[in-house]
Structure 1
Amino acid sequence: MAFLKRLGFYLIGLSIGLVFLFFFLKKKSDETGVSFCYLPNCRVLKELRSKPLTYSKQIDQMVADQTLDSLTIAYFMNEGDVNFKKSNIRNTTCKTYLIEGMVKEKLMALTIKNCDSIVIIDNLQDLD
Structure 2
Amino acid sequence: MAFLKRLGFYLVGLSIGIVFLTIFLKKKSEETGVEFCYFPNCRTLKDIRSKQILYSEDINRMLADKQLDSLDITTLLTDGEVDFGRSDTKSEACKTYFIKGFVKEREAVLKVRNCQEKVSIEGITSE
Scaled by the length of structure 2, the TM-score of the pair is 0.91
Q: Secondary structure at the match of 2:36?
A: coil
The one-letter code matched in structure 2 to 1:124 is I
- Residue equivalent to 1:23: 23
- Residue equivalent to 1:95: 95
Asked if residue 84 in structure 1 is aligned to residue 77 in structure 2, the reply is: no
Structure 2 unaligned residues grouped into runs of 5+: none
The one-letter code matched in structure 2 to 1:67 is Q
- Residue equivalent to 1:73: 73
Provide the C-alpha distance between the structure 2 equivalents of 1:36 and 1:104, rounded to a whole number of angstroms: 28
In the TM superposition, 1:4-83 aligns within 5 A as 4-83=4-83
Aligned residues: CA RMSD: 1.4
Q: Bigger CA drift: 39-48 or 116-125?
A: 39-48
Question: Could you list the runs of 4 or more consecutive aligned residues of structure 1 that deviate by over 4 angstroms after TM superposition?
Answer: none
Q: Secondary structure at the match of 2:67?
A: coil
Provide the C-alpha distance between the structure 2 equivalents of 1:51 and 1:89, rounded to a whole number of angstroms: 17
Provide the C-alpha distance between the structure 2 equivalents of 1:38 and 1:117, rounded to a whole number of angstroms: 22
Scaled by the length of structure 1, the TM-score of the pair is 0.91
Provide the C-alpha distance between the structure 2 equivalents of 1:80 and 1:13, rounded to a whole number of angstroms: 39
The one-letter code matched in structure 1 to 2:55 is Y
Deviation at residue 9 of structure 1 after TM alignment? 2.1
Provide the C-alpha distance between the structure 2 equivalents of 1:41 and 1:96, rounded to a whole number of angstroms: 14
Identity of aligned residues (%): 55
Aligned residues: 127
The one-letter code matched in structure 1 to 2:60 is D
Q: Bigger CA drift: 109-118 or 62-71?
A: 62-71
Deviation at residue 38 of structure 1 after TM alignment? 1.6
- Residue equivalent to 2:104: 104
Q: Secondary structure at the match of 1:101?
A: strand
Q: Secondary structure at the match of 1:86?
A: coil
Q: Bigger CA drift: 45-54 or 33-42?
A: 33-42
Q: Secondary structure at the match of 2:6?
A: helix
